[in-house]
Amino acid sequence: MSMNTLRDLLVEQLNELYAAERHHMMTVPRLVQATTDTRLADMLRAHADECSTHLSRLDVVFGDMGVRAPGELSESNGMRGILRDCLELANMTRAEPHVRDAALVALAQHIEHDQIAGYGCARTWSQLLGHHSSASQLQRCLDDERRADRDLTRLAQSLNKAAMAPLLA
C-alpha cells in the first residue's frame, strides 16, 4: 500500500489495529492457562471479549471509510514481538508462578500501551480527515484500552509484591 496521504496512513493504522486485536484474541487462552492468579485470568478473559467489541467497532470504521477490513492478518514487528514474548512466557512452566504472573501482567501492559498509541493516532487522524463517526468509535476503543491499562496497573502492584515475597523471606 502506498503511503502518500494521511488517509493512507490511517487505513494502514486501522489494519494494524485490526490484526493486533485478532491476534490478541487468539493469544489470550494460552495466557489464561499460564497464569496462577485468578484476577489476572479474569482480566485477560474480559479483554479478549473486549477485543471482539473492538473488532466490531473497527468493522464500522472501515465501512464508514468505504474500505474493506483486512482479510489477511499482518501486524507490526513490535506487536508480533510482544505476542511472541507472551507465548514464550506462557510456555515457561518451570518459572516461579508469581514471577510468571508479574511478567504476564507487564506484557499485557505493553500490548495495552501499543494499542493506546495506535487508537489515539487513528482517532486523531479520523478527526482531521472529517470522519467524526469513526473518530467516536476509535475514542471508545481508546477509552477501553486506557481503562484496561489502569486495571492492570492496580493488579500489577499486588502481583509484584507476591513475586517479591520469596526475596523478603
pLDDT one-digit tens code per residue, 58-81: 999 999 999 988 866 555 555 667
Please name which of 138, 148, 146 lies closest in space to residue 57, comparing C-alpha atoms: 138
Find the domain containing 112 and state its range.
6-168
What pLDDT, on the 0 to 100 scale, is given for residue 64? 94
CB atoms within 10 A of CB 130: 9
What pTM did the predictor assign?
0.88
Q: Is position 77 within any domain?
A: yes
Q: Is position 127 within any domain?
A: yes
CA atoms within 13 A on the CB side of 104: 34
Note the Cα 121 to chain centre separation in Å: 15
Q: Is position 162 within any domain?
A: yes
What pLDDT, on the 0 to 100 scale, is given for residue 13? 94
152 CB-near residues (< 8 Å, 6+ apart) = 43, 105, 108, 109, 112
* Residue 109, SS3 per DSSP: helix
Give exposure, 81-108, as e/b (b: 16+ Cβ within 10 Å). Answer: ebbeebeebbeeeeeeebbbbbbbbebb
Got the DSSP string for 115-151? HHHHHHHHHHHHHHTT-HHHHHHHHHHHHHHHHHHHH
- Angle at Cα 90 formed by Cα 89 and Cα 92, nearest 5°? 65
Q: Is position 1 within any domain?
A: no
Q: Is position 11 within any domain?
A: yes
| Residue 152's CATH number | 1.20.1260.10
Please name which of 63, 68, 69, 75 lies closest in space to residue 26, comparing C-alpha atoms: 75
Q: Which residues of the chain have pLDDT under 50?
A: none
Q: Is position 73 within any domain?
A: yes
For the chain, the domain total comes to 1
